Structure formats: C-alpha cells, structure tokens
C-alpha cells in the first residue's frame, strides 16, 4: 500500500477510536464515575473491540499496545469528555452520526485483519462485527447495563453487512480499495438510515415464558 | 482416532453447543432483547466457554472460528429460540437435562484439549470447568445477572469431578476412550442427581459482615 | 537472578494473590454466593489481573496455569474467606492496607513482565495497572457492581505511578532491583495516603446531561 494511503488509514482508525472513546466518556460521566473511571471507559470503548479481535485471532500484543498513538487518542478523548461533557451531551445526536462512521470503519478494518490472519469469510465478517461492537459492549457491562447493541436500534446488522461485502469481495479477488470502500458505504448508509428512521431488529413475538 | 469416532465427537460437540445456545436464546427472550441480541446470546453461551479456554491456553484462533459448522449451529439455535421460545420455555426442565449432557461433554473435551496443550492435571481439569461454565457466565453477565453457577444448583462441581477423572486417567496412561467415557458419566450422573434432588453447594454460615 | 531473590519474589507474588483473593471471597459472601461461588470469586480476583495481562501480551498459558502453587493459593484464600468471613469482615480496614501491598507488588511485576515481552514504556506501565486492578474489576462485574476502582478512592493512579517509575528506570538502564523497589514504594505510599486521607480522583464538574 502506498505510504499516503496507509497514513490515511491510520488517521481514519484514530478518528474512529476517538469517537467511540467519547461515547464511553459520556456514559462514565452519567454513571458518576471519577476522572480515572472516565479514562478507563474511554479507553475500553475505543480500543476494546480491537483488543477482543486481536486476542481471538492471536494477534498479540494488540496493535494499540505497540503504538503509543493508539493509547493517547482515548486519553485525549477521555479528557475532552471529562471537561466538555455538558456540551457533548447536548450534541449527542451528532456524535451518534460520527459513531456510525466509526462503526463502518471498524467493521471493514476488523474483517480485513481477520482475513489477513487466515480466517474464512464468515468468521472474518463476524470479527468485523466484534471489532465494531465489542468496545461498546464492554462499556455497558462495566457500567452495569445490558449492552444497548442487544436491544436498541439496528447497529450490528449493518456492520455484519459491511464486513461480508469486504470479505466476499476479497475472496473473489476484486481490487481491495474499492471493495473496502463499498463495505464501508454499505455499513454507513444502512446505519444512518437506521438512526434516521428508528429501525430496530425484530423482537420475539408473544410473551416470554417465565 | 478412526474417522468414525472423530465424526461422532464433532456431532456430540455440536449438540452440546446447540443445547447451550438454546439456553442463551431463552434468557435473551426473557430480557426483551431483539433478534440480534438473541443471536449474540446464543453464540456467546454456546461458544464462550471454548473461546475462554482457547484464549487462555493460546490455541488461537479458537476452533469455532476456523470451522463454519461451529458458527452455524448457534445461529440455528438462536433462530429456533427466537421463533419457538414459548414452546421451549414450557419444556425447560427437559432442556436442563439436555444441558447436563452438554456440560459433561464440555468438561471432558475441555480438559483433554488443555492436556494436549501441555497443561498439568489440575489446571487442565480447571479448564474443563471453564469450558463447561464459561458460556453461561458470559450469558449472565451480558444480561445483568450474577452468574447462576455461582449461587444456584450444583453445576460446576460435577464438571470438575469429570475433568479430574479424565486428566488423572490420562496421566496414569489408561486408554483414552474409556477414561473419557468415565469422566463424562461421572459429571453427567452427578449433575442429574443434583437436578433431581435439588443439591446445591454449601452456603457460608452466619450473617455476612457489612 | 540469584535463587534466593527469585524465591522471595514468588513468595511476595503469592502473598499478593492471597490478599486479593480474600477480598474476592468477602464480596462473594456478601452477595450470598455458595461455596463454589466463593472459590470462583477468590480465584478470579486473585488471578484475573495477571490473566488479562498475559492474554493481552500473548504470554499464554498464563503463569498461574503452569504452576500449581498459583492455583492453590486462591483456593486456600477462598476456604479461609468461606469459614472466617465474620472475623475477616471486622478487620477489613487491615485487609485494605494489605491490599495496598498487593497492588504495589502487582503493578511492579506486571510492568516488568510487559517490558520483558517487548512493550514500550507507556503500554507496559498500563499493563501494570491492568495487573493490579483487573482482578477486582472482574470480581465486581461478576457480582453485578460497577467496578469500585472506577468511582471510589484513589487506587489506579498510584499503580500507574509505580509502573511508570519501573519502566522509565528500566529504559534508563538503572539497576533493576532498586528501581523495582522504588516503584513499589511510590505505589504503596501513595495508596496508603489515599486510604488514610480519603483521597479520590476528581469528579466531572456540573450535572451530567441526560
């Protein structure tokens, strides 16, 4: 990959981590955590999905532990969230839109990394989903909530679709950059439509047995 | 191992995953999760114990990520649970009995895999327990409950006993198949007796200090 | 390292695990867990931080699974906690002081191990913190609490300081034993002062947006 393209990818990756980490910091503030708690939530939300993926595919230590920029970004996001949470809370709808960019980026990057480590198409797409939703799930478990991705708006399905586009295009031998761009677009557009139209995954029908 | 035997083991393994995944799907329905949440709970409950074991012993990527059958089984279980939860909820006592088979199978298979990766008898038996109870613990943490295995009916002790039988027989150089069958039987019978007689592990005596 | 020194380190390490495991057992008793639950909480609290560190840096299987002494210590602590919880609950302030020794030890040992596995100074110090606080975080998540380290007294900051002292001294080529002792002392004294003076990390200012 040409250096310029690679540098662009790192910038995109760091931007995704930053947005995810901001969402973690905002949840931490709402749960009355202290400054350290805000930083931990920012870090685990921003980096947790990638950590889970890397541990599962055996890519240890995770990239974020080998490159200090990946650690400073969530720290910066945590500090921003700690100080500016009243402002950020008011523009949370905008953050949700930015978060969709992070999700699209992570599902593509996560799927590609899993393919590089020799996984088949279906597991690789699944690890793209893990990369995209893992950080938010850890955030919710640490703050005593059932992960919102399991019962809220449509979030993981677009990530799975994006990941599948990427790995199937990769398997088919298509050129990588356009395929990655298409997977990114599929996930992003679907997620933005879900936000706009309040789409959610179907619920089980009938009352649950006790 | 002759191909027929090996195929039988895979079928047993997949059956264990299916039963565990059904229990995850039923918990998800009760917690009002959506279709994606039901699938995630089915997947983590069915595969989580094996994932924990494989990550701890360094057997990455876990088998379930290298063989698509291991991914399709929990998806199928999740869909079955999503659609047929009213029926499944009514026959949950039967599912509990099937779950005992899954537990016995997982404690034997988990212990043997840990021995194969060079662990000593005690850690290997412990990893058999992790394989058997890990998925259910993740299921409970994700749905905001204290894992039932920590305070309910006797569940982990039979798994530990089964794992110990297997690793000690293995260490003693006894033939593998009968030893595995004995470990399976010890875990299964003990667990079924615990269900039937409502055995539970002892509780601390006296009031807890505050 | 001379054998005497190495043996001393193992004894210190086991002592730290024991104290952490006692804290896990006491939480388990308060949450009405059974004997198995008490053992699991003792084990995960005593060993969880090291497990997280080892899985993240790729040092699998973790040391505690390769050396039976590391498994017997939390079992012993769990049994002690199960039987003597009324006494231990009354002297919990003393246990908090002992716990500070465990924290100081774990942050130093965890940072050094991460450096040995090739991590840079900042990630290595961070893994020292993970080693020190990871077990307690798992304990709290398993018992349905938001981890106290995220919102209580100052706990992780001293561990980070101790870890930084160690890795920076290591990078600067200073002799290892005095540097480790200094890192240990920095973490311990700061943590004891925090207990004594009820120091806590700063809280976000202003009300959280909803």
Between CA B165 and CA C106 the distance in angstroms is 35
Domain assignment present for residue A207? The answer is no
Domain assignment present for residue A77? The answer is yes
DSSP state of C200: B
Say whether pLDDT at B33 is over 80: yes
Q: What is the DSSP string of B150-202?
A: GTSBS-HHHHHHHHHHHHHHHHTT--HHHHHHHHHHHHHHHHHHHHHHT-BPP
Out of A3-7, A159-163, C185-189, least confident range: A3-7
Q: Between chains, do C90 and B156 touch, taking CB under 8 Å as contact?
A: no
Between CA C36 and CA B159 the distance in angstroms is 12
Q: Which residue has the tokens 């038996």?
A: B125
In terms of Cα–Cα distance, which of B142, B170, B183 is closest to B41? B142
Residue A210 pLDDT grade (very low, low, confident, very high; cuts 50, 70, 90): low
Say whether pLDDT at A1 is over 50: no
In terms of Cα–Cα distance, which of C126, C141, C158 is closest to C24? C141
User: Whats the size of chain C, residue-wise?
Assistant: 210
Residue B179, phi-psi category: left (phi > 0), alpha (psi -120 to 50), beta (remainder): alpha
Contact residues of B toward C, CB < 8 A: 55-58, 117-120, 122-123, 126-127, 137, 141, 144-147, 149-152, 154-157, 200-204, 206-210
Structure tokens at B38: 């039901």
Start-to-end Cα distance in chain B? 56
SS3 state at C203: coil
To test the contact with chain B by mutation, choose from A142, A146, A153 the residue with the greatest count of B C-beta atoms within 10 A, namely: A146
Contacts of C15 (CB under 8 A, 6+ apart): C101, C102, C105
DSSP state of A46: H
> What's the structural domain count of chain C?
1
SS3 state at A200: strand
Q: What are the backbone angles phi and psi of residue B55, rounded to the nearest 5°?
A: -65, -40
Q: Which residue has the tokens 């190495």?
A: C6
Between CA C205 and CA C199 the distance in angstroms is 17
How much is the average pLDDT of A170-188? 94
Q: Between chains, do C56 and A51 touch, taking CB under 8 Å as contact?
A: yes
pLDDT by residue (tens digit) across C87-109? 998 888 888 898 999 999 999 99
pLDDT for residue A209: 67
Q: Between chains, do C31 and B206 touch, taking CB under 8 Å as contact?
A: no
How much is the average pLDDT of B100-129? 94
Q: Which domain holds residue A98?
A: 3-197
Min Cα distance B109 → chain A (Å) is 20
Distances, alpha carbon A186 to alpha carbons A160, A161, A180, in Å: 10, 7, 10
Residue C2 pLDDT grade (very low, low, confident, very high; cuts 50, 70, 90): very low
Residues of B in contact with C79 (CB under 8 A): none
Contact residues of C toward A, CB < 8 A: 55-58, 117-120, 122-123, 126-127, 137, 141, 144-147, 149-152, 154-157, 200-204, 206-210
In terms of Cα–Cα distance, which of C109, C115, C120 is closest to A72? C120
Contacts of B190 (CB under 8 A, 6+ apart): B154, B157, B158, B161, B162
Distances, alpha carbon B142 to alpha carbons A11, A107, A193, C31, in Å: 32, 21, 27, 18
Domain assignment present for residue A43? The answer is yes
SS3 state at B204: coil
Domain assignment present for residue C208? The answer is no
pLDDT for residue B4: 55
Domain assignment present for residue A9? The answer is yes
HEC sequence for B69-90:
HHHHHHHHHHHHHHHHHHHHHH
Q: Between chains, do A119 and B32 touch, taking CB under 8 Å as contact?
A: no
Contacts of B23 (CB under 8 A, 6+ apart): B45, B95, B99, B136, B139
pLDDT for residue C58: 93
Between CA A24 and CA A39 the distance in angstroms is 9
Query: Greater confidence, C170 or A92?
Result: C170
ipTM for the complex? 0.90
Between CA B190 and CA B184 the distance in angstroms is 10
**Average predicted confidence (pLDDT) for chain A:** 91
Domain assignment present for residue C205? The answer is no
C167-172 long-range Cβ contacts below 8 angstroms, 24+ apart: C167/C111, C167/C114, C167/C115, C167/C121, C167/C124, C167/C125, C167/C128, C168/C121, C170/C112, C170/C115, C170/C121, C171/C121
User: pTM above 0.90?
Assistant: yes
Say whether pLDDT at C175 is over 70: yes
In terms of Cα–Cα distance, which of B156, A59, A67 is closest to C60? A59
pLDDT by residue (tens digit) across A55-87? 999 999 998 898 888 999 999 999 999 999 999
The answer to whether B89 touches A204, Cβ cutoff 8 Å, is no
pLDDT for residue C94: 86
Structure tokens at A1: 């990959």
The answer to whether A78 touches A158, Cβ cutoff 8 Å, is no
DSSP state of A183: H
DSSP state of C153: B
Residues of B in contact with A55 (CB under 8 A): 55, 60
DSSP state of B143: T
Q: What is the DSSP string of B31-69?
A: TT--HHHHHHHHHHHHHHHHHHHHHHHT--S-GGGT-HH
Distances, alpha carbon C100 to alpha carbons B125, C10, C92, in Å: 32, 18, 12
Residues of C in contact with B206 (CB under 8 A): 85-86
Domain assignment present for residue A205? The answer is no
Between CA A58 and CA C156 the distance in angstroms is 28
């Amino acid at each position: 990959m040409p250096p310029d393209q690679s540098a662009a990818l790192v910038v995109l990756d760091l931007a995704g981590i930053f947005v995810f980490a901001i969402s973690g910091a905002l949840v931490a503030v709402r749960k009355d955590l202290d400054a350290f708690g805000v930083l931990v939530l920012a870090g685990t939300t921003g980096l947790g999905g990638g950590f889970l993926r890397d541990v599962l595919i055996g890519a240890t230590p995770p990239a974020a532990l080998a490159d200090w920029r990946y650690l400073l970004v969530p720290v910066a996001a945590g500090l921003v969230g700690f100080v500016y949470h009243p402002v950020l809370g008011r523009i949370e709808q905008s953050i949700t839109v930015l978060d969709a960019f992070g999700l699209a980026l992570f599902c593509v990057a996560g799927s590609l990394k899993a393919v590089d480590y020799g996984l088949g198409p279906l597991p690789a797409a699944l690890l793209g989903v893990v990369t995209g939703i893992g950080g938010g799930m850890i955030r919710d478990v640490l703050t005593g909530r059932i992960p919102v991705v399991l019962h809220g708006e449509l979030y993981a399905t677009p990530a799975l679709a994006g990941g599948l586009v990427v790995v199937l295009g990769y398997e088919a031998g298509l050129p990588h950059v356009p395929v990655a761009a298409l997977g990114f677009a599929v996930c992003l557009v679907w997620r933005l439509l879900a936000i706009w139209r309040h789409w959610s995954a179907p619920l089980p029908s009938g009352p649950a047995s006790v």
